Structure 1
Amino acid sequence: MNRRVVHTRGGPPADALTVVQDPEPAPPERGQVLIRTTAFPVHPGDLQAVEAYPGTAATPLPVGVEATGVVEAIGPGTHVAPGVALGGRATVFPQPGAWSQWIVADADVVVAVPEELSDEVAAQMLVNPLTTVMLRREAEEHLALGYDGVLVQTAAGSSVGRLLTGVSQAHNLALVNVVRSGSGAAELRRRFPAVPVVATERPGWTDEVRAAADGRPVSVALDPIGGKLTESLLALLAPGGKLVGYGQIAEEPISVHASTLLHKSLTLRGKNIGRWLSEASAERRASDVAAAKLIALTLKDQFDVAATYGLDELRAAVEHAVRPGKVGTVLVRPW
């Protein structure tokens, strides 16, 4: 038996998602690895893909891209990554249909889990750390970063935001964190006392960001929110600055007059972790995965779990994942 999560239409994920039961998968073929899933995360991007799906699908569509579990079988003649072995733990990404009790994955997306990591961290070991690696690379492409330039990130209390803060500290990148509320700012100061943090609920928060920058140029802003916040971030950027959007939390569109970009020679760029596999070379992917595992090992205390649910509690898990003020990632254990 293989219970897995699917959908046939778009709309609110709590309503659109359902659990179906299939036979257990056949033994893996050459180039494949069979994994018995122990946990998978509910990422915002997973839910956005379901909500945005147009029309109705003729056959059920799989859900999820990341999961962790135990290697149960390896296809004959299959080359696997270092550390991947029968009976060992592994995390997969990007793996369509990862929200499933059993996964037959292409060997090149299967990554061994270090012994030091719990299943809770292993289930989050790739998507968020790889996003962090991607965003750090984007930021450091700006010549001012690492010199006098300052990096600003919004949604800094999110899972990715906390990892990016830890990585920025490790690499001596000047950073100002931006969150929504005063309580969120207080929690982030507790975790990272040396990093300034500003709450957007306070009037004049952009002036606080400038004060925290202490006369240095705000060279790069990283933002998963979009919408009206984009205007404020572009106003903060120094001439030649860059704003990188990597999410779509806000429902309203980004509305920016061309003059805003032209007069200061600003760059507005979008990044999507879903394109990582197709855009990165094999060498870059291997390097990025190694960096992601290192992030998981050195910052494992930042991989908060908001709650853990069973597969029969899927609706509650999905509703929790989009709850305002949630701290950490919602996990599902499918058995």
Structure 2
Amino acid sequence: MNRRVVHTRGGSPAEVLTVVEEPEPTAPEPGQVLIRTTAFPVHPGDLQAVEAYPGKAAQPVPAGVEATGVVEAIGPGTPVAPGVEAGGRVTVFPHPGAWSQWIVADAEAVVAVPDELPDEIAAQLLANPLTTVMLRRAAQEHPAFGYDGVLVQTAAGSSVGRLVTGVSQFHHFGLVNVVRSDRGAAELRRRFPDVPVVSTERPGWTDEVREAAGGRPVSVALDPIGGKLAESLLDLLTPGGKLISYGLIAEEPIPLHASTLLNKSLTLQGKNIGRWLSEASAERRASDVATAQQIALGLKDQFVVAAEYGLGELTNAVEHAVRPGKVGTVLVRP
């Protein structure tokens, strides 16, 4: 039997996600790859999609978009990425319904896993590193980025935040990290002692950011939170600066008066991995996937696993994934 995670309506993931049993999939057709899953990550975006699902579905909706596993079979005449072969380890992304013991995936979504990477990293190989690549590209569109301008990022202790920090260090970009607690700041300083960290738990934290920037202009800000925090980032930005929003952790909207944009000539830009998938050319996607693999190889220590659960412990895994103060990604072993 094949066990997979589904839901039929939106709501709290811990309440609406269920595990169902189905027959194992048959042999893959041309253009498909059959994968036996060994691990999948519980990304915040996966859970947000479940919460936001409108209405009630006529048929169960499969959950998850990323997983790692072993190739069991390749459809006849199917072209595959380099290194993808029967018996080989792969990661699949994006694949709606990746939270399953067996996956029949489109071949173009299947990527070989380098031998040096264990399953714990392979399960996180694409979504977060590709997000990092996407954010770096968007930031580099600002003429001051990488020169005199400083990059500020919130949620810097998150999985994506740590990768952005590692990439920024490698390329010698000016960076100030922002987290929500003194405890989180201490943890991030331990990981990246040369990168300044500011906690929003402290009154006047924006002044600390300006001090950490050392007089250099804050040209770009990366933010997955929104709300009042994003408003503070707009205040921090230098004239001509750019706020890149890539998440909606905060429930409230960003309070913004048009004069803020007009007087400082600011740019607001939204980015998400779904848009990257639909807009990037095949050549761009292939190049970005190769870069994501290099990020994983070069920053292996930053792919932290918060905990591992079995498929029968799905509710615990989902609750852990949204736990305040969690460091790392929650994995499920089917």
* TM-score band w.r.t. shorter chain: over 0.9
Deviations 1:289-326, CA, capped at 9 Å, x for gaps: 00000000010110000000000000000000000000
May I ask how many residue pairs the two structures share in their alignment? 334
**1:161 CA drift (Å):** 0.3
* Corresponding residue of 1:15: 15
Structure 1 SS opposite 2:36:
strand
* Corresponding residue of 1:330: 330
- Measured in 2, the distance between the counterparts of 1:76 and 1:171 equals 43
TM-score normalised to structure 2 length: 0.99
- Measured in 2, the distance between the counterparts of 1:18 and 1:180 equals 32
- Measured in 2, the distance between the counterparts of 1:203 and 1:278 equals 41
TM-score normalised to structure 1 length: 0.99
* Corresponding residue of 2:74: 74
1:194 aligns with 2:155: no
- Measured in 2, the distance between the counterparts of 1:279 and 1:173 equals 27
What are the ranges of 5 or more consecutive residues in structure 2 without an aligned counterpart?
none
* Corresponding residue of 1:278: 278
Look up the equivalent residue of 1:115 and give its one-letter code: D
- Measured in 1, the distance between the counterparts of 2:19 and 2:67 equals 16
**1:275 CA drift (Å):** 2.1
* Corresponding residue of 1:52: 52
- Measured in 2, the distance between the counterparts of 1:154 and 1:277 equals 24
**1:204 CA drift (Å):** 0.6
1:234 aligns with 2:237: no
1:168 aligns with 2:168: yes
Look up the equivalent residue of 1:17 and give its one-letter code: L
* Corresponding residue of 1:304: 304
- Measured in 1, the distance between the counterparts of 2:162 and 2:245 equals 17
Q: How does 1:127-142 map to 2 (within 5 A)?
A: 127-142=127-142
Deviations 1:8-48, CA, capped at 9 Å, x for gaps: 00110000100001101111011100000000000000000
Look up the equivalent residue of 1:65 and give its one-letter code: V
- Measured in 2, the distance between the counterparts of 1:17 and 1:201 equals 34
**1:129 CA drift (Å):** 0.3
Structure 2 SS opposite 1:211:
helix
Q: How does 1:187-226 map to 2 (within 5 A)?
A: 187-226=187-226
- Measured in 2, the distance between the counterparts of 1:152 and 1:173 equals 11
* Corresponding residue of 1:248: 248
Deviations 1:124-160, CA, capped at 9 Å, x for gaps: 0000000000000011110001110000000000000
Structure 2 SS opposite 1:228:
helix
Structure 1 segments (4+ residues) deviating >2 Å? none
**1:271 CA drift (Å):** 0.5
**1:67 CA drift (Å):** 0.1
Deviations 1:78-118, CA, capped at 9 Å, x for gaps: 00000001100000001100000000000000000000000
Deviations 1:35-78, CA, capped at 9 Å, x for gaps: 00000000000000000111100000010000000000000000
* Corresponding residue of 1:113: 113
- Measured in 2, the distance between the counterparts of 1:132 and 1:94 equals 16
- Measured in 2, the distance between the counterparts of 1:91 and 1:8 equals 26
Structure 2 SS opposite 1:249:
coil
- Measured in 2, the distance between the counterparts of 1:212 and 1:112 equals 41
**1:251 CA drift (Å):** 1.0
- Measured in 2, the distance between the counterparts of 1:58 and 1:30 equals 29
- Measured in 1, the distance between the counterparts of 2:144 and 2:4 equals 47
Structure 2 SS opposite 1:132:
helix
- Measured in 2, the distance between the counterparts of 1:276 and 1:245 equals 14
**1:183 CA drift (Å):** 1.0
- Measured in 1, the distance between the counterparts of 2:280 and 2:172 equals 26
- Measured in 2, the distance between the counterparts of 1:240 and 1:161 equals 24
**1:198 CA drift (Å):** 0.3
**1:201 CA drift (Å):** 0.5
* Corresponding residue of 1:316: 316
* Corresponding residue of 2:148: 148
Q: Give the % identical residues.
A: 83
* Corresponding residue of 1:95: 95
Structure 2 SS opposite 1:3:
strand
* Corresponding residue of 1:2: 2
Look up the equivalent residue of 1:182 and give its one-letter code: D
1:38 aligns with 2:38: yes
Q: CA RMSD in A?
A: 0.5
Look up the equivalent residue of 1:28 and give its one-letter code: P
Look up the equivalent residue of 1:202 and give its one-letter code: R
* Corresponding residue of 2:104: 104
- Measured in 2, the distance between the counterparts of 1:132 and 1:154 equals 14
**1:230 CA drift (Å):** 1.0
- Measured in 2, the distance between the counterparts of 1:19 and 1:256 equals 42
